[in-house]
C-alpha cells in the first residue's frame, strides 16, 4: 500500500478534535504522528463519551478510540522548562507541529514557532485566530457555528437555530489545515526553499468558506439568509419526504433536467408542462405547491420502492440512513468503508476507514488509539537520546 507522506514526522500538541484530526489525516497518508499529552490526565478527548468498558469495568471513551488512533502517545509537561526543552528537541527532528492552545500560550512557554526551527510547518488552531479583538475568546465547535452564521441557517424557520449533528467546525478545520500543511511541505521540499511556515487555522473560517453565496447575496442584494428547514428557498422540489413505512427519502428535483426525471419517476409528466413549474424560477416561487405534490407521492410508497423508482430515472435521491442502515449496506461492505481497529483497551472495534483512498487500494486499518504515555520512553530515547536513568529522573519529577 502506498504511503505518500512516509518519512514525515508530525508533533501533535492539539486536544479534542480539530488539530488532532489534521494530524490524523496526515498519518493516514503515511506520516508518523507523535502526540504530546499532559502527564496523568492526557487529552480531554479521553474523557468524553460514549463509553465502552474495559475488562475491569472501567469506562473507556469510544470518541478517543476513533480520533486517537494511528499515533504515538508521549507525555510531557509543557508548562515546565524541562518539558519545553524536550519539545524543542523533538521539533528539531520533525517536519510539522500542530497545536490548539489559546493564542499566546506557546509564546509564554517559549516554544512558539519563532523559537523552533524555521524548517517546521506549524498549524495553529483556535476559534478566532491568532490576532484580532476576539483572538483570546475561548470556544469550541458550537461557537464557530454560531459566529459564522451556519447555526442561524440550520433548522426550521419557526424554531430555534439547531446545531448540526457532528463537530463540523472541528473536522473541517482539520481538513483545511492538512491541505495547507502539505502545500507548505511541497514548497519547502519540492521547490527547495527549506523553509516551513505558520498556518493560522481559525475554526469559524472553515465554516465561513463553505457558506456558499451567503456573503455575496448580502453584499449585492441586501439579503440576510434564513433557516428553511429541509427545503430550499431558491430551488424546488428539494427535501426530505416521509414515506408510507415511516422512513424518509431525500430527493433533488430543482434543475430542469432533474425535475423532468422526477416527473417520469412519479408518472406525472404533465407537471413539467404546468406553467407553475415550467422552469426553475417558477418552481422556486411555487415551492410550497410542488413540494406538497412530491410529498403526497412519496407518502404513498414504502421508502425502498420510492428509492427504486427515483434511482431508475436518475433522480438524485435515496433513503435517509441511520448508522445501522449504513453499516449493513452492501455498497459500504463491498468497498470496505468500515474497518476493524485493534484497540489496546477494548479489542477489535469497527470504525470508519481512512479517507480518501487511492484507486485500486483498500486502506489499511490504523493502529489503535495508544495508551496514555505508551510511547514516551521509545520516542524520547530514540529521538532525544535520553537514557533510562534520564527518563526515570524526569518521570520522578513529573516532567513526563
The DSSP string of 88-145 is HHHHHT-SEEEE-SPTTHHHHTT-SGGGS-TT-EEEEEESS-SSSTTTT----HHHHH
- pLDDT number for residue 95: 98
Say how many residues make up the chain: 400
Q: Which residues of 311-336 are buried (b: 16+ CB within 10 A; e: fewer)?
A: eebebbbebeeeeeeeeeeeeeeeee
**For strand 59-61 and strand 51-53, is the pairing parallel, antiparallel, or unpaired?**
antiparallel
Say which CATH class 238-324 falls into.
alpha beta
Would you place residue 390 in the very low, low, confident or very high pLDDT band (cuts 50, 70, 90)? very high
pLDDT reading at 174 higher than 90: yes
Cα–chain center distance at 259: 33
pLDDT reading at 307 higher than 90: yes
Nearest CA to 96 out of 38, 31, 45, 43 is that of: 31
Number of Cβ within 10 Å of residue 81's Cβ equals: 12
Tens of pLDDT, residue by residue over 253-281, are: 999 999 999 999 999 999 999 999 999 99
pLDDT average, residue stretch 342-349: 98
pLDDT average, residue stretch 110-121: 97
Chosen CATH of 9-210+354-397 out of 2.60.40.1930, 3.40.50.300, 3.40.50.10540, 3.30.460.80: 3.40.50.10540
- pLDDT number for residue 332: 97
- pLDDT number for residue 1: 84
- pLDDT number for residue 392: 97
pLDDT average, residue stretch 4-29: 97
- pLDDT number for residue 230: 87
CB 340 within 8 A of CB 348: yes
Tens of pLDDT, residue by residue over 358-372, are: 999 988 999 999 999
The share of the chain scoring above pLDDT 90, in percent, equals 98
* Mean pLDDT, the chain, integer: 97
Tens of pLDDT, residue by residue over 189-231, are: 999 999 999 999 999 999 999 999 999 999 999 999 999 998 8
How big is the chain by its Cα radius of gyration, in Å? 25
- pLDDT number for residue 233: 84
Would you place residue 41 in the very low, low, confident or very high pLDDT band (cuts 50, 70, 90)? very high
- pLDDT number for residue 232: 84
pLDDT average, residue stretch 81-106: 97
Give the residue extent of every domain in the chain: 9-210+354-397, 238-324
The secondary structure of 33-53 as a DSSP string is: EEEEE-TTT--GGGG-S-EEE
- pLDDT number for residue 79: 97
Locus of grid cell 472541528: 170
Would you place residue 90 in the very low, low, confident or very high pLDDT band (cuts 50, 70, 90)? very high
- pLDDT number for residue 231: 84
CATH topology of 9-210+354-397 equal to that of 238-324?
no
pLDDT reading at 236 higher than 90: yes
Amino acid at each position: 500500500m502506498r504511503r505518500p507522506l512516509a518519512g514525515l514526522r508530525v508533533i501533535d500538541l492539539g486536544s479534542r478534535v480539530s488539530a488532532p484530526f489534521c494530524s490524523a489525516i496526515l498519518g493516514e497518508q503515511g506520516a508518523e504522528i507523535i502526540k504530546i499529552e499532559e502527564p496523568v490526565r492526557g487529552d480531554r478527548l479521553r474523557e468524553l463519551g460514549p463509553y465502552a468498558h474495559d475488562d475491569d469495568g472501567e469506562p473507556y471513551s469510544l470518541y478517543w478510540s476513533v480520533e486517537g488512533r494511528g499515533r504515538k502517545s508521549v507525555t510531557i509537561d509543557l508548562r515546565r522548562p524541562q518539558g519545553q526543552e524536550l519539545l524543542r528537541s523533538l521539533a528539531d527532528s520533525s517536519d510539522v507541529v500542530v497545536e490548539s492552545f489559546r493564542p499566546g500560550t506557546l509564546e509564554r512557554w517559549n516554544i512558539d514557532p519563532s523559537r523552533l526551527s524555521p524548517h517546521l510547518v506549524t498549524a495553529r488552531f483556535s476559534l478566532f485566530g491568532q490576532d484580532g479583538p476576539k483572538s483570546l475568546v475561548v470556544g469550541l465547535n458550537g461557537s464557530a457555528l454560531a459566529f459564522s452564521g451556519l447555526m442561524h441557517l440550520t433548522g426550521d424557520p419557526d424554531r430555534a437555530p439547531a446545531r448540526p449533528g457532528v463537530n463540523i467546525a472541528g473536522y473541517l478545520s482539520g481538513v483545511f489545515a492538512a491541505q495547507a500543511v502539505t502545500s507548505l511541505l511541497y514548497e519547502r521540499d519540492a521547490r527547495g526553499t527549506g523553509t516551513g511556515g505558520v498556518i493560522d487555522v481559525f475554526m469559524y473560517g472553515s465554516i465561513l468558506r463553505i457558506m456558499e453565496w451567503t456573503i455575496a447575496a448580502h453584499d449585492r442584494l441586501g439579503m440576510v439568509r434564513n433557516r428553511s428547514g429541509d427545503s430550499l428557498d431558491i430551488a424546488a422540489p428539494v427535501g426530505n419526504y416521509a414515506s408510507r413505512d415511516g422512513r424518509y427519502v431525500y430527493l433533488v428535483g430543482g434543475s430542469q433536467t432533474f425535475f423532468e426525471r422526477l416527473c417520469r419517476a412519479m408518472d406525472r409528466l404533465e407537471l413539467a408542462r404546468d406553467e407553475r413549474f415550467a422552469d426553475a424560477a417558477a418552481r422556486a416561487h411555487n415551492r410550497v405547491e410542488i413540494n406538497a405534490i412530491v410529498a403526497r407521492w412519496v407518502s404513498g410508497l414504502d421508502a425502498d420502492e420510492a428509492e427504486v423508482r427515483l434511482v431508475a430515472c436518475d433522480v438524485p435521491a435515496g433513503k435517509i440512513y441511520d448508522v445501522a442502515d449504513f453499516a449493513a449496506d452492501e455498497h459500504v461492505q463491498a468497498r470496505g468503508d468500515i474497518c476493524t481497529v485493534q484497540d489496546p483497551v477494548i479489542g477489535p472495534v469497527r470504525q470508519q476507514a481512512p479517507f480518501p483512498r487511492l484507486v485500486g487500494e483498500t486502506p489499511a486499518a490504523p493502529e489503535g488509539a495508544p495508551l496514555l504515555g505508551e510511547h514516551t520512553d521509545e520516542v524520547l530515547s530514540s529521538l532525544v537520546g535520553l537514557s533510562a536513568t534520564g527518563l526515570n529522573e524526569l518521570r520522578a519529577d513529573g516532567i513526563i
